[in-house]
Amino acid sequence: MSHPRSYRLSFVLISVALCLALVLNISSGSVSIPFFATLSGLMGKPLEVSSWEYILWDYRVPKAFTALLVGGGLSLSGLLMQTLFRNPLAGPFVLGISSGASLGAALLLMGTSFLSSFASLSFVGDVSLAIAASLGSFLVLAVVLAVAQRIRDTMALLVIGLMFGSITSALVSVLAYFTSAESLQRFIFWSFGSVGNLSSQQLSLLTGIVLLGVLLCILSIKALNAFLLGEHYAQSLGVSLRKSRWIIIIAAGLLAGGITAFAGPIVFIGLAVPHLTRQIFDTMEHRILVPAVFLYGAILMLLCDTFAQLPNSVNVLPINAITSLVGAPVVIWLLVRKRKMIF
């Protein structure tokens, strides 16, 4: 709107930070590879130890790329929800969207052993996992949006989101009770959240989903800006409410659902990053915020994953523990500084 030029320097800085976070993330891991060896490896030069080459290109680079997609995509999904719900505390996790995705995934991972009489259902592919999780998140998103039409109160909406979270986790527990140990274990590991161990097919599918979500998001930029005035004003500016609302929901659901399917329910990133981004990019203009939030989310996720790696140790912390440690204080800070709640 006013002066997109003045954020050029911020974009340069944040892009440099992303490159640094990427290299830092790739250079750390259970096997110690010197930083400069990593750097030259990334430049395409052969490495002194051949196993390093394998670790670098077959494990760490795909993992870093996944973290980038997951962080950027979840943050973007959070931004979409905050604008759509006109609510600064909206986000994929808080509104129960991630729980919806969990339910979808749980139904597929554990429900299939439950319904084992249907032989065809026992096949759990990547595509079906992505579809199930996305459907679950769409379902919850649509229900929450329907409720939000009636209830304008910020806090009430959040409590409703939490309740949906409880309902879905209760359903997941019921499923877990009846399922086989093997499926349960698979689900539990999934629910810790992880950006590693994605096969190249899974990674390309995730890339496709995130790209589609980002594309829909870019197409919605003008409508998102109009929604900042409220729905009536948006309508008077020529925005087709129904169509724009659906495109935004589909984009947010695809991003949150698709990412949750592959990386597990990762908490707080979607909620916290748009607010952290506005500390640097003090604007509501979505032409600035959409790329800025994606980049910021990618950086934060890469850093969280780097910490989760516990450099030079074989132990890997669940990524959810790290994102909570980063994200929860942000939410508290938001609530304490009410002024920042003005969205």
Separation CA 38–CA 28 (nearest Å): 9
Q: Is the Cβ of residue 53 or residue 231 nearer to other proteins in the bound state?
A: 231
Residue 6 binds to other proteins (criterion: CB under 8 A): no
Residue 10 binds to other proteins (criterion: CB under 8 A): no
Instruction: State which of residues 115, 127, 219, 335 lies at the interface with other proteins (CB under 8 A).
Output: 219
Residue 174 binds to other proteins (criterion: CB under 8 A): no
**Interaction with other proteins in 230-259: which residues (CB under 8 A)?**
230-233, 235-240
Residue 276 binds to other proteins (criterion: CB under 8 A): no
Q: Please choose, out of 12-20, 49-57, 195-203, 224-232, the segment that lies near other proteins by the rule CB under 8 A.
A: 224-232
Residue 273 binds to other proteins (criterion: CB under 8 A): no
Residue 154 binds to other proteins (criterion: CB under 8 A): no
Instruction: State which of residues 164, 227, 268, 296 lies at the interface with other proteins (CB under 8 A).
Output: 227
**Interaction with other proteins in 77-96: which residues (CB under 8 A)?**
86
**How far apart are CB 146 and other proteins at their closest, in Å?**
19
**How far apart are CB 243 and other proteins at their closest, in Å?**
10
Q: Is the Cβ of residue 190 or residue 281 nearer to other proteins in the bound state?
A: 281
Q: Please choose, out of 16-24, 175-183, 187-195, 277-285, the segment that lies near other proteins by the rule CB under 8 A.
A: 277-285
Instruction: State which of residues 25, 98, 194, 283 lies at the interface with other proteins (CB under 8 A).
Output: 283
Site residues, other proteins (CB under 8 A): 1-2, 86, 219, 221-222, 225-233, 235-240, 283-285, 287, 339, 342-343
